[in-house]
Chains A and B, each alone.
Chain A
Amino acid sequence: MTKFWSIAMIEARQLWRGRSFWIVQVVLILPAILFAVGFIFNNSTIYEGGRAGIPGQVSLFIYFLLMPILVSPAITRDLGKPGELLWSSPLEPLTHLAGTFCGLWLGLLPGIFLQIGAWWLADLFLPNFLSDLAWLYSLLIYLVTITVALSLSILLAMMLRRTLLVLITWVALWVITFFMITGIDTHIPAPSSSLFNIVFSNLQISPSLGLGPFRDLIFSMIVWFAGVSLFILCLALFLSLITEHRKSIGNSRAAIVFSAAAILLLAAGFMINRRAVSAHAMLPSPFDIQQEMWQVDTNLMKVNVDADTGDVEGRSLMILKPLQQIGTNQVVLQLNPGFELQAVQDETGHALEVKREGDGVVIELPELPGESLTIQLTWWGKLYLPVQAFAHRWRYYYAPDVYRNAVPQPPGALLYNGIGYLLRDGDWYPWPWIAGPRQAQINQVTIQTDAENSLSSVPLESGEASWEGEMPPVFLAFHPPGDEAVGEGKIY
């Protein structure tokens, strides 16, 4: 342990003594200064919509690019003449590698605090919506990213053994990463690239919800990157043994435990990530959604909402009128995939067969629909939030060899940890597929909730709100508890 700490301290001191470390820190402070100066002189920020993001994310991306400048010389130096001295000493490779890694990691820590501090100062001049939580996440993400970048730099330096070669390869890697994870305007990292999104690009922190429903995805990324980092270090250790035949593994038990932990963490991170991705996957709509084919004449609906658990239970009676000839004995309604349509009955009380198809439900009718159709529906469940609901673009086929990006509307309903909203045009209750607002000729909607933090567009009496006639765009909103100062604003 003494040897380990000696190596770590020497590496940290050597890093701090190098001019390049301080030059890099000055460069990394530049974006914060540029943004602040840009705002002071132009009174506009280039990231109007992005001020709820992770502070310092731009600097982190640059830190990632500049990492081998700081790390590579420390490794290549030990491959030269000092390497001969190391070989002649009784130092074990594992202790040496662990000491070097920890020393460099500790050496990089002041830089991290310096960057976050610079952004904190710059944010005094910038209009933003950053909560205290955002700074904590920023520190966590900095630590994760720097750990991966450090271990990757060590591995590359050991493999390529030449600083210039490491730098060239690193620039290529950086550009590839840049292309894979940027260019999409979102509020959360794209699940498809979350295993490569080393700087957590696109992540925005809601002042009230924090990471919100996508906490599992972000957590999985942190575990995955921790595993990647450990695994890369294991590779570096074994690589050092292969390239330097004179060395032996020394404490083999520790090396095995280290490797097993790395593989376990890597596998766990991968599995959690895949689960998180599939938990927010975009579900397909039915093949024929009967778009604009039905008009709702009457809608009598009663819904019970438990904002804390997110449970929604509803019953409705709908009288539908076909707007054009319906060729099949089916009615296709839109309903959030998290809900189960428990019972469907026609006007006589006869149960109808129903099947779930992605984000829709298909109700089988005994015969072709006539001039009007009356159905009674009962549904229950929790909202399912696909990633695309958070303004994630997806590509759609436009013409031969041409694909374009589509940006969907934000979700029409959200319930998470007692906070959220229910909009009229959300898919939290069944309705035919239409492009316009959800309005019926005769409308009567009642929503019950025990939540004390609920706000309604009509007065709430004993936790019950009722609407008749034309429906408002917002039914209910559940605000965060207490007031919270966020940047220059305040959330009530």
Chain B
Amino acid sequence: MSAAFIRLPHRRLEISIVALIILALIGLLWVSRASESGPRISITAMEILVPLLVGILAAGLLADDPALELLLTAPRPTRYILTDRLIIVLTFGAFSSLALQLLTNRWGIFVPYEGIDQAFIWLSPLFFYAGASSSASLIRGRMLDGVIVCLIVSVVGLLSGPIIAASCQGSPLIAGCWLAVFNPLMTSSTPYDPFWPANRVLWFILGALLVGASLLLAGQGERLFHDTPVE
């Protein structure tokens, strides 16, 4: 948190608000620990909400930075600056999700999988959201582009879950539903599908590739300038 405050001075308020939201989520989790909605809240928080918030933060790491001109004139390449900031934001997201995961287990809330497998509930979407949002915002240098991508991914993921489940109705559970591999929010809809590990690996790799792409895009400083700043 302190690293985020020092290295990301222009996003202190945003990070504080995200931290408050996560604290509220922990409170909500505690309140509903004995109810039927406990697992739903835990999975939604770990797989959707924290990655989405981190993704939104990642959209504004370099794009629409108020000190952009200063950053570009500094001898340090912008891709190093983005790497720094991405590490901070991803670490913040990872710690928050880990805390949610540990508390979920400690309070006896049932969520699918155990140990390192369980960590992939949040790890894959976290990387994917951060990578997709960061690279989308750097294509035109507009923070809102990254945010729109994040929200669209969430909406499509939430909507496609039941549609995919409906399309695989009738097929034996053990055979799985290969279409579900393409849903980044698979744990929320079909967590016990045999394709779940493949889904996690796919979105994790895709996320890592997108993070790499955003670092490449960060090197092209001219993309970050546009006529009408939105913030």
Q: Which residues of A contact B (CB under 8 A)?
A: 20, 23-24, 27, 30-31, 34-35, 38, 41-42, 44-46, 58, 62, 65-66, 69, 73, 76-77, 80, 162-165, 167-169, 171-172, 175, 179, 183, 401-405
Give complex CA distance A205, B18 in Å.
Answer: 39
Residues in chain A near residue B11, CB distance under 8 A: 164
Q: In the bound complex, do residue A168 and residue B34 qualify as a contact, i.e. CB atoms below 8 Å apart?
A: no
A-binding segment of B51-59, B80-88, B93-101, B207-215? B51-59
Residues in chain A near residue B60, CB distance under 8 A: 164
For the complex of A and B, 9 pairs with smallest distance between CB atoms: A401-B34, A46-B166, A46-B162, A164-B60, A172-B21, A73-B230, A38-B163, A42-B167, A163-B231
12 contacts between A and B (CB under 8 A): A27-B155, A30-B156, A41-B167, A44-B166, A44-B167, A58-B159, A65-B151, A69-B147, A76-B231, A164-B60, A168-B18, A168-B56
B73 interfacial by beta-carbon distance below 8 Å = no
Interface size on B, residues (CB 8 A): 41
Residues in chain B near residue A175, CB distance under 8 A: 44, 49
Which A-chain residue is minimally distant from B48 (CB atoms)? A175
Closest-CB distance, B208 to chain A (whole angstroms):
24
Other-chain residue from B21, B37, B148, B160 in contact with A168 (beta carbon distance below 8 A) = B21
Q: Main SS of the interface on chain A?
A: helix
Q: In the bound complex, do residue A73 and residue B144 qualify as a contact, i.e. CB atoms below 8 Å apart?
A: yes
Residues in chain A near residue B231, CB distance under 8 A: 73, 76, 162-164
B13 interfacial by beta-carbon distance below 8 Å = yes
Other-chain residue from A45, A169, A179, A403 in contact with B17 (beta carbon distance below 8 A) = A169
Residues in chain A near residue B24, CB distance under 8 A: 172
Q: In the bound complex, do residue A179 and residue B34 qualify as a contact, i.e. CB atoms below 8 Å apart?
A: no
Give complex CA distance A172, B57 in Å.
Answer: 13
Give complex CA distance A405, B37 in Å.
Answer: 11
Residues in chain B near residue A20, CB distance under 8 A: 144, 148
Q: In the bound complex, do residue B148 and residue A23 qualify as a contact, i.e. CB atoms below 8 Å apart?
A: yes
B117 interfacial by beta-carbon distance below 8 Å = no
Closest-CB distance, A349 to chain B (whole angstroms):
54
Residues in chain B near residue A162, CB distance under 8 A: 13-14, 231
B121 interfacial by beta-carbon distance below 8 Å = no
Closest-CB distance, A33 to chain B (whole angstroms):
11
- Of residues 137 to 167 in B, which have CB atoms within 8 Å of A's CB atoms? 143-144, 147-148, 151-152, 155-156, 159-160, 162-163, 165-167
B132 interfacial by beta-carbon distance below 8 Å = no
Give complex CA distance A172, B53 in Å.
Answer: 9
Other-chain residue from B14, B59, B230 in contact with A76 (beta carbon distance below 8 A) = B230
Q: In the bound complex, do residue A183 and residue B230 qualify as a contact, i.e. CB atoms below 8 Å apart?
A: no
Give complex CA distance A405, B41 in Å.
Answer: 17
B169 interfacial by beta-carbon distance below 8 Å = yes
Residues in chain B near residue A31, CB distance under 8 A: 159
Query: Max chain A CB contacts within 10 Å: which of B17, B152, B163, B167?
Result: B163
Q: In the bound complex, do residue A404 and residue B167 qualify as a contact, i.e. CB atoms below 8 Å apart?
A: no
Closest-CB distance, A130 to chain B (whole angstroms):
20
Q: In the bound complex, do residue B230 and residue A27 qualify as a contact, i.e. CB atoms below 8 Å apart?
A: no
Residues in chain B near residue A171, CB distance under 8 A: 49, 52-53, 56, 151
Contact A179/B41 with A66-B151, A162-B13, A168-B53 known, Cβ cut-off 8 Å: yes
B2 interfacial by beta-carbon distance below 8 Å = no
Closest-CB distance, A164 to chain B (whole angstroms):
5
- Of residues 8 to 41 in B, which have CB atoms within 8 Å of A's CB atoms? 11, 13-14, 17-18, 21, 24, 28, 34-37, 40-41
Give complex CA distance A179, B156 in Å.
Answer: 18
Give complex CA distance A73, B64 in Å.
Answer: 12
